[in-house]
Structure 1
Amino acid sequence: MTDRKQFKLPDVGEGLTEAEIVKWHVQPGDQVEVNQTIVEIETAKAIVELPCPFEGVVAELMVTEGDTVDVGVPIISVDVAAEGEDTPTSAVATPVSEPPAQPAALQQDMVPRVEEPGMVAPDEPKRQPVLVGYGVKPGATKRRPRKPSHDPASATPAASSAAPVAPPKPAPQPVREEPASHPQPVDKRTLAKPPVRKMAKDLGVDLTTLTGSGPRGSITRDDVQAALTATPTQVAPAPAAATAPAAPGVREERIPVKGVRKSTATAMVNSAFTAPHVTEFLQVDVTRTMETVRRLRDLPEFAEVKVSPLLLAAKAVLTALRRNPGANASWAEGDSGAEIVVKNYVNLGIAAATPRGLLVPNLKEAQDLSLPELAKALNGLIETARAGKASPADLSGGTFTITNIGVFGIDTGTPIITPGEAAILAFGQIRDMPWVYEGELAIRKVSTLALSFDHRIIDGELGSRVLRDIGDMLEDPMRMLAWS
């Protein structure tokens, strides 16, 4: 005898409202175990592997790959053995000693919470294995005595397991209070006004991953917007439709705006229409930077690390921000009015082109890294992003961003500021150009830098100083030593 159970799409993070089914790892008829990965989903934060909360046989995949599913919608059903039939001993030797089965409403259509570590209360008898990362919190069972019981003996496991007959009253019934006993833990861990919380929920931003810039560390709208451009969202179906040859006779194609396109569009509109953008350009001779890159590659400290001009550009940005801290800031609307929040740390964002779209992970506390450490961190960050393994923490909380458009053979552009930051640097391609060097015309390695900044925070003088400092250090890397 089997019992069919449904597994609903869980809330894998505060603010999640939907996710896209990326890949099923099981098919109908497959045998599955508790904690076995059954599906990959993509949220507005990252790709997440969901484990199965049941042990049994897959009965039906209720959604298909590529579908976007709301939280709480059933995605798979599994036929599991009825309680008491999981082992021969329980089925034959002790059929009447089994405690009352948990109500079917709780066994079926579960919507587990990822952050909750247990699924079985300590006072329940032995049951099927517990799904790691789901269910009642360890301390939650202390709430059970609060509900009066008609039979005091039923509150203990011993009394429950000793019952020789069918249940006259369902002892596990108080467990039904479990869904209502999770009073939004975020309210205790973060400070944010209700409109900000609603905005975060609508946009799929996890408030627990943000650092508040408002009064008493509260999270503001700008903080929420700052997390938007760094959200990896599924884009696999869209590019396939966009790049595939059109069918004969088809004059137009309609591609749903979802995934990374939707997240990027929202973030770019918010940034463009919130922060007054100004972009300045600087063409620099980076011949010495290229020579330095070649010399660094020969050093043992960089033997197993990829050294590129981006490494020195990142170091130049960190040095320039230390010399001009006002450019490493954000705009905040507080109870007492607008404020400019100057950050004494640099979470350096690096725009990375990945198969799933543009991601912007950031290096936390990058100002404290030595050059070899910075090189290793950059390589690891970009590789993690391209592999689709960047975590929500990696993709939020940035303070300054570099976009290396030169790798695409582009000279320059006008990048849009990451929401919640004050500036972004575009690093153009490096190419041979005629250049006046030491009074004579020569062929030199030249690149064009573009700095977009929020004119509410950075005026023209400060923006020009930051860009000039970065350019000077790329023209002569020795200045990094002098200014560090």
Structure 2
Amino acid sequence: MLLHSRSGASTSRRLLSSAATAGQRHSVRTLTQASRTQHAQPQHQQQRQEQQQQLARSRLQTPSSSRTTWPASAASARRAFATTPRRRQPTRKTETKPYLLADVGEGITECEVVKWFIKAGETVQEFDPICEVQSDKASVEITSRYAGVVTKLMYGEGDVARVGTPLCEIEVESEVEDDVGAAAPSQGSTPPEAESGQLKGEAQQPTNDSQVGEKKVELEGFIATPPSQKRDKGEILATPAVRRVSREHNIDLADVQGTGRDGRITKEDVLRFIENPSPASSKGPAPSAAPSSSSASAPSAPASETQVEDLSPVRRAMFRAMTSTLAVPHFAYSDEVDVTALESIRQQLSDVIPAKYRKTLPAASAGTDVERVADEARFDKLTLLPLLLKALSLALDEHPLFRSTLSLPADAAGMDAKAVSSAAKLHRRASHDISIALSSRVGLLTPCLPGVDRQSVFDIAASVTRLQTLSASRSGLSPSDLRATGTVTLSNIGTVGGTYTHPLIPPTGQLAIGAMGRSRHQPRFASDVPGYKKGSLSPEEEDRIVKRLIMPVSFTGDHRVLEGVELARFVGRWKQLVERPDLWFGLLK
């Protein structure tokens, strides 16, 4: 029993001794780890600082276009993803396209390049003006159909370009489908050098938002600063839609401040100008008036000294057109037309012009929803010209030969008369297309009024007013107004003065042209009044002198096709319809 107690006590002492030893060992390990942590902490902080400094140096040395750093696992995933096929994506491919000179008018085969608005190597956008060409009819501004880089100009200023030949060459971009998955390894995987750099902790340089903001503000300031100097017509950059809006509001684009690229005028600029119509020159400091080239290059010449100057583009075109008329044998026919009755009808119609055609609405139509014609086509006074055009259309119904145009072979100049006559063709039209001669800012123009037979007198008056308004403005007539040609031209020289003239037929294939002089009141016998029936007046009344409004007219026909009697009969029927407007009631459809 005693022995057992001693052995138990000995065992207890051994257990206590072991526990104490274990506790000491645990304390020693705890102290050792704490000591190691205390010794390792400064070393860890030093390594961390070195890594941060190395990362900062790499950011300074790494260009902004470097790759994004991927972790090792992300780089592996990126390589795996690059080997999988992807969808086909479009890539850019450039090709050079020739810009052909389109048909700018019926019967026009060549044009003179007056001015280039672009140079080789410059970038153009769609609808940007390329050049200005001068045909036998008018000056036309050619706009681009492509967006790209101009690589070559085929003609110089003053050269003559034929319709259908290239004016210039433009390099454009087109999209081609490519398989991205079949790309080269450099496109689908990360190079080993880049991966090793990424594993070392290199990162892409972050975007500096402040720098981007500064560049954006600087760019916006550049775009929003337009030139303050007023430009001439050739320097105005605007799309056809913008020009149409300006014409509808009768606005000179040279007075509008452009805020687009290179001073381009946008639709918003025009609308802003309508709300606040201030000239463009007032938005910036007024430039000093530049002297003309003649006055700047040399002092003013004495009055006795002869000055030599070149023909303007419009006069050169007129020179070519009128020279070509020398090959046409003209037959002239003149007469007098009594327009007293027609003038009375004109006055009556002027009092009943429908509201849709008026510039100013009458009080009865104010506040009502009235369908109106364009601003440039409105009028408050009816002239004789629309009535004369309508009478000419009625005469064309009975003389269809004058609804024809003559076409000759292209090499007619080098052929004899027999060969030319065998190849000549007459193109007879169903519609009554009549041209009118206008004296515009750029020269003589002959725009066409198509389908006069389908228009009322007020419709014809609106069309004439529109052409007259646009021809007098800086924007001018559109190419569509000048592209078509009539079979007969009517010119009103009475606005200038004079009685008879000898008009020349335009080289567009038409067969006749007429000109009206100034109408004057002249004495006539009562028996000479249009519509007089013999025996309706007594001999004393027949010899009575009355005041009549007389208009002299002169017509010219192409004697290669027309007989003299055919022209005389046609003019005679037109004269009868003008003098007797009551006959229209049986002819109008």
Match of 1:283 in 2: 336
Q: Which stretch has the larger CA shift, 44-53 or 278-287?
A: 44-53
> What's the Cα RMSD here?
4.1
Match of 2:513 in 1: 424
Post-superposition CA distance 1:26-77 (Å, at most 9, x none): 9xxxx99845856763442543264697899xxxxx9xxx964677xxxxxx
Deviation at 1:295, TM superposition (A): 0.9
Paired AA for residue 111 in structure 1 = E
Match of 2:525 in 1: 436
Match of 2:346 in 1: 293
Match of 1:259 in 2: 313
Kept after mapping to 2: 8 A contact 1:46/1:392:
no
TM-score by length of 1: 0.56
Paired AA for residue 459 in structure 2 = E
**Aligned counterpart in structure 2 of residue 322 of structure 1, from 353, 374, 397:** 397
Match of 2:178 in 1: 157
What are the within-5 Å matches in structure 2 for residues 33-432 of structure 1?
A: 34-35=125-126, 37=128, 41-44=132-135, 46-48=139-141, 50=143, 68=158, 111-112=169-170, 119-123=172-176, 156-159=177-180, 162=183, 247-249=301-303, 251-274=305-328, 276-301=329-354, 303=358, 304-305=378-379, 306-333=381-408, 336-387=422-473, 388-391=476-479, 394-419=482-507, 420-432=509-521
Deviation at 1:392, TM superposition (A): 5.1
Match of 1:235 in 2: none
Give 5+ residue unaligned stretches, structure 1: 1-6, 57-61, 72-108, 114-118, 124-155, 167-239
SS in 1 for 2:524: strand
Deviation at 1:358, TM superposition (A): 0.4
TM-score by length of 2: 0.46
Paired AA for residue 384 in structure 2 = P
Match of 2:553 in 1: 449
Kept after mapping to 2: 8 A contact 1:329/1:457:
no
Kept after mapping to 1: 8 A contact 2:125/2:144:
yes
Kept after mapping to 1: 8 A contact 2:129/2:141:
no
Paired AA for residue 567 in structure 2 = G
Post-superposition CA distance 1:388-409 (Å, at most 9, x none): 2331563433211101111111
Which structure has the highest helix share of the two?
Answer: 2
Change (3 A) 1:246 1:373: farther
SS in 2 for 1:299: coil
The number of residue pairs the alignment matches comes to: 316
Separation in 1, partners of 2:448, 2:127: 31
Post-superposition CA distance 1:133-186 (Å, at most 9, x none): xxxxxxxxxxxxxxxxxxxxxxx43449955769xxxxxxxxxxxxxxxxxxxx
Give 5+ residue unaligned stretches, structure 2: 1-95, 104-108, 162-166, 188-292, 359-377, 410-418, 528-541
Separation in 2, partners of 1:383, 1:326: 32
Kept after mapping to 2: 8 A contact 1:402/1:424:
yes
Larger C-alpha radius of gyration, 1 or 2? 2
Deviation at 1:289, TM superposition (A): 1.5
SS in 1 for 2:471: helix
Kept after mapping to 2: 8 A contact 1:352/1:386:
no
Separation in 2, partners of 1:69, 1:269: 18
Change (3 A) 1:9 1:298: farther
**Aligned counterpart in structure 2 of residue 473 of structure 1, from 567, 570, 577:** 577
Match of 1:458 in 2: 562
Kept after mapping to 2: 8 A contact 1:404/1:427:
yes
Kept after mapping to 1: 8 A contact 2:525/2:545:
yes
Separation in 2, partners of 1:17, 1:286: 41
Match of 1:225 in 2: none
Paired AA for residue 478 in structure 2 = A
Deviation at 1:452, TM superposition (A): 0.6
Separation in 2, partners of 1:415, 1:463: 14
Separation in 2, partners of 1:456, 1:279: 13
Post-superposition CA distance 1:391-435 (Å, at most 9, x none): 156343321110111111121201011221111110111122223
Match of 1:20 in 2: 114
